[in-house]
């Protein structure tokens, strides 16, 4: 089972032309010294829900599972521990190579332009991936093609609306600036997750389900530290673009470190569906 490149024409739904470099080499580059720590913190706040959802959807030993955009590799590692047959992909596999020793197939792969044979997988999972692509609905349709009949697509994507009216002024200011920078530099659609699960229905999946939750952030916790690293990695570009200044960043860091800081973080919308057959 090999991935292969196929010509992908731009469609009317695409907001901009896709290049790997726009995501891989920007604020989330694996070459940034804090990126592995940032991914580890994200895993610490999200993995529990991901594992619970896989279990509730009937993950079985020997299932063929595709983990798209594997990041730090924690989900792929856990899937292998459940005796699934795991393929994990990313544009940069630096943090994933060690998983090959645990029976995981590690593949540098661009899911927006490179294919797998139709009907390859029992489960496909993507987390915090699809919103960064030019046409998320098109990405969903591509993922559905790779499912076996009866296979399940599981998506987890964030939405930024809880951040935008925070009562904490520095946090509110810097989160609005961060969202704008993400939209302008990476191309992220920070509103797309609110459309779930409709894109899965449009792609022909059945047995649709979805849930939503809002992450909490408290001064000094993992969520707060994850945000500090996001902000620090994007800070030079945000300041250069005039979206915020260094004083705004420092004030936000103080709020995020304060034991008296309690607020909302991102909303996480999860949707799943099964391919008929």
Q: Each residue's pLDDT tens digit in the chain (277 positions)?
A: 445 434 445 566 787 677 767 777 778 888 999 999 999 999 999 999 999 999 999 999 999 999 999 999 999 999 999 999 999 999 999 999 999 999 999 999 999 999 999 999 999 999 999 999 999 999 999 999 999 999 999 999 999 999 999 999 999 999 999 999 999 988 899 999 999 999 999 999 999 999 999 999 999 999 999 999 999 999 999 999 999 999 999 999 999 999 999 999 999 999 999 999 8
Tell whether 66 is covered by a domain: yes
Domain of residue 230, residue span: 16-274
pTM of the model: 0.93
> Is residue 6 a part of any domain in this protein?
no
Distances (CA, A) of 39 to 79, 106, 205: 18, 18, 30
The tokens describing 240, both together, are: 């250069």
Q: What's the number of domains the chain is made of?
A: 1
Specify the pairing of strand 147-159 against strand 262-274.
antiparallel
User: How far apart, in whole angstroms, are the C-alpha atoms of residue 221 and residue 45?
Assistant: 10
- Say which residue the tokens 């047995």 belong to: 207
Residue 260, domain CATH: 3.40.50.150
Provide the token pair at 75.
């989900």
Percent of residues in the chain assigned helix, strand, coil, to nearest 5: 40, 25, 35
Residue 62 lies in a domain: yes
- Say if 46 falls within a structural domain: yes
**Is residue 204 assigned to a domain?**
yes
* Residue 166 resides in a domain: yes
Could you tell me the two tokens for 131?
A: 């919103």
Residue 152 lies in a domain: yes
Angle value at C-alpha 195, between 131 and 54, nearest 5 degrees: 70
Contacts of 18 (CB under 8 A, 6+ apart): 112, 113, 133, 134
């Amino acid at each position: 089972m090999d991935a292969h490149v196929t010509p992908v024409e731009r469609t009317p739904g695409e907001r901009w032309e896709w290049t790997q470099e726009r995501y891989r080499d920007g604020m989330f580059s694996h070459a940034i010294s804090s990126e592995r720590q940032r991914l580890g913190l994200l895993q610490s706040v999200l993995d529990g829900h991901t594992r619970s959802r896989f279990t509730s959807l009937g993950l079985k030993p020997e299932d063929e599972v595709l983990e798209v955009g594997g990041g730090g590799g924690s989900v792929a590692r856990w899937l292998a521990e459940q005796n699934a047959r795991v393929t994990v992909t990313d544009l940069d596999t630096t943090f994933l190579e060690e998983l090959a020793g645990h029976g995981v197939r590690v593949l540098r792969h661009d899911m927006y332009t490179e294919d797998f044979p139709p009907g390859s997988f029992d489960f496909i999972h993507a987390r915090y991936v699809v919103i960064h692509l030019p046409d998320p609905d098109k990405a969903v349709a591509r993922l559905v093609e790779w499912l076996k009949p009866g296979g399940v697509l599981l998506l987890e994507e964030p939405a930024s609306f809880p951040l935008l009216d925070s009562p904490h002024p520095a946090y509110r200011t810097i989160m609005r600036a961060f969202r704008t920078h993400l939209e302008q530099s990476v191309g992220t659609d920070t509103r797309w997750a609110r459309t779930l699960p409709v894109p899965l229905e449009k792609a022909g999946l059945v047995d649709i389900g979805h849930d939503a939750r809002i992450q909490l952030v408290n001064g000094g916790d993992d969520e707060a530290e994850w945000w500090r690293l996001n902000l620090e990695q994007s800070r030079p570009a945000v300041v250069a673009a005039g979206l915020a200044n260094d004083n705004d960043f420092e004030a936000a860091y103080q709020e995020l470190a304060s034991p008296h800081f309690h607020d909302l973080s991102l909303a996480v919308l999860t949707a799943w569906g099964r391919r008929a057959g």
